[in-house]
Structure 1
Amino acid sequence: MRVNWNYIKIVSLLLAIGGLYGFADHRSKQKKVDDINIKFLGDNNLYLTEDSVNKLLIQNYGSLKNRAKEQVVLNSIETVIKSNPMVKSAQVYLSIEGELISKIVQRKPIGRVEGISKFYLDDTGNRMPLSRHHSARVPIITGKITGKTLEDAYVILEFVNEDDFLRKNVIGIHIEDENKYQLKLRVENFVVNLGGVENLDEKFKNFMAFYVKAAKDKTLTKYAVVSLEFDNQVVCTKI
């Protein structure tokens, strides 16, 4: 009977590789978490701190440092971190060196509601609690706060943030009623009656045309109210 040495060599090699892999995997699982590294991605304004994340992990798991890798459930840790209302997303993984790394993206506020309840409106249109670590410099939303008016305020803020001039100059939205929104500017004394959120592109184009001309004529200080409520026109009320 002829022995197929090539077949035996291949089988032996596969068994050796499998054994080495199993040994390496076993040793890897026996390794312990050497350190914990919290990284915040994107905006440098921290509404959540590294200490806050560490306390959150300790409350749920105790100390993770020096714990065996096989005892660390990464998906569970991600879920706990994402349960914090300041967190938009989180990714948790272990490095080869045994470092537990958490990469966190915070939620981004675009407006601050000042009413009976105080909170941020984030860039997805949802409520976000205020942070004791950092106060965002965003437009203040006041007046009649309802689910509908907040939806409209979000639409206005999205539009404002897409334009460099508006983003730098609009500091407030006052809600008189549904479909009655008023903008406050950083420098000028007049307020802008926006009306509803329909035809915002046309309304702001008309406003910018008015603003450029009035600035050139040096008449901006003469107005108390600039209304964009009417179709394709700007109606001004003098002081």
Structure 2
Amino acid sequence: MRNKILTYLKFGGLLILITVLFAFASKRNERRKIKEVLIEFIEEQDPYINELTVNKLLIQNQERVTSVGKEILVLNTVEQELDAHEMIEHSDVYLTVNGELRARIKQRTPIARVNAVTPFYVDVTGNTMPLSDSYSAHVPIIHNVSEREVAQIFPLLRKIQEDEFLKKHVVGVYLGADGNYELELRVYRFKLIVGKIENLNNKIKNFKAFYQKALRDKSLESYKKVSLQFSNQVVCTIK
């Protein structure tokens, strides 16, 4: 009986000791200052937002994050502030055991630039985003399209972004007064009339077939206009 009591006392004492040590370590860890802020941009993207801007967003109570104790740093709040930035799609903020504050940033991806009074980008989700102070995206320029018309033109912009052939050749998109869309090509000067945004896959398939044949025939420079408006046809106008 005495041995059992002694065992219980030893176990209880050990438990108390572990609790005290854990509380001490936790308190010490809370008081330890953040040593370094490390920012990582995930995926290979152009720098539409830079590390300096992200660092500024990682400031709490007008002090640098590196001088703020871990106990008053609310990571969820920091993430919300980063995610609210107009150039950031998603962020992940966490602390390491070494006292490092790490922020993983995924930027928004523009696929077109609208040439308006106040120019803006259209991103991969079809939403608008402002121009960047850090980098100018190499994307097609859109003319005669207002912000309220972005949803209408977005299927065409997405098609250009996803199709390697179009992405390589198309540098501009125009909306005509008749509601038809025209593509500007990087090399050739003929007008490429897409027409309305319908049957895009079939229109692009027909144009690719025409392009390859005309390339072999060395006749691409002889056209003034190439129209994809008509069903299963490519109608060309000679200069």
TM score, norm. by length of structure 2: 0.91
Alpha-carbon distance, 1:225 to partner: 1.1
Give me the whole-angstrom Cα distance separating, in 1, the residues matched to 2:223 and 2:181.
18
Distance 1:146 1:85, change over 3 A: closer
What corresponds to 1:229 in structure 2?
229
1:190-219: CA deviations, max 9, x gaps? Answer: 121111221111111111111111111111
What corresponds to 1:97 in structure 2?
98
1:68-125: CA deviations, max 9, x gaps? Answer: 1101111111112222211111111111111111111111110000022200001111
Q: Within 5 Å, which residues of 2 pair with 1:36-75?
A: 36-58=37-59, 61-75=62-76
1:140-187: CA deviations, max 9, x gaps? Answer: 00013252x312322112112222211111111111157511111111
Structure 2 residue runs of 5 or longer lacking an equivalent are: none
Q: Within 5 Å, which residues of 2 pair with 1:136-151?
A: 136-147=137-148, 149-151=149-151
SS in 1 for 2:151: helix
1:153–1:173 Cα contact (<8 Å) kept: no
1:178–1:196 Cα contact (<8 Å) kept: no
1:35–1:65 Cα contact (<8 Å) kept: yes
What corresponds to 1:168 in structure 2?
168
Give me the whole-angstrom Cα distance separating, in 2, the residues matched to 1:34 and 1:59.
15
Alpha-carbon distance, 1:14 to partner: 4.0
Give me the whole-angstrom Cα distance separating, in 2, the residues matched to 1:195 and 1:231.
11
Q: Within 5 Å, which residues of 2 pair with 1:10-29?
A: 11-29=12-30
Distance 1:121 1:53, change over 3 A: same
What corresponds to 2:200 in structure 1?
200
Which amino acid in the other structure matches residue 157 of structure 1? L
Q: Within 5 Å, which residues of 2 pair with 1:111-190?
A: 111-147=112-148, 149-177=149-177, 179-190=179-190
2:45–2:107 Cα contact (<8 Å) kept: no
Give me the whole-angstrom Cα distance separating, in 2, the residues matched to 1:178 and 1:82.
40
What corresponds to 2:81 in structure 1?
80
Give me the whole-angstrom Cα distance separating, in 2, the residues matched to 1:59 and 1:224.
60
SS in 2 for 1:232: coil
2:114–2:145 Cα contact (<8 Å) kept: no
Distance 1:36 1:45, change over 3 A: same
1:1-33: CA deviations, max 9, x gaps? Answer: 673666655555544433332222111111111
Deviates more, 1:164-173 or 1:153-162: 153-162
Structure 1 residue runs of 5 or longer lacking an equivalent are: none
TM score, norm. by length of structure 1: 0.91
What corresponds to 2:220 in structure 1?
220
Give me the whole-angstrom Cα distance separating, in 2, the residues matched to 1:193 and 1:123.
24
Identity score, percent: 42
Which amino acid in the other structure matches residue 173 of structure 2? I
Give me the whole-angstrom Cα distance separating, in 2, the residues matched to 1:119 and 1:56.
23
How many residue pairs are counted as aligned between the two chains? 238
SS in 2 for 1:230: coil
Give me the whole-angstrom Cα distance separating, in 2, the residues matched to 1:187 and 1:25.
65
Deviates more, 1:3-12 or 1:17-26: 3-12
SS in 2 for 1:65: helix
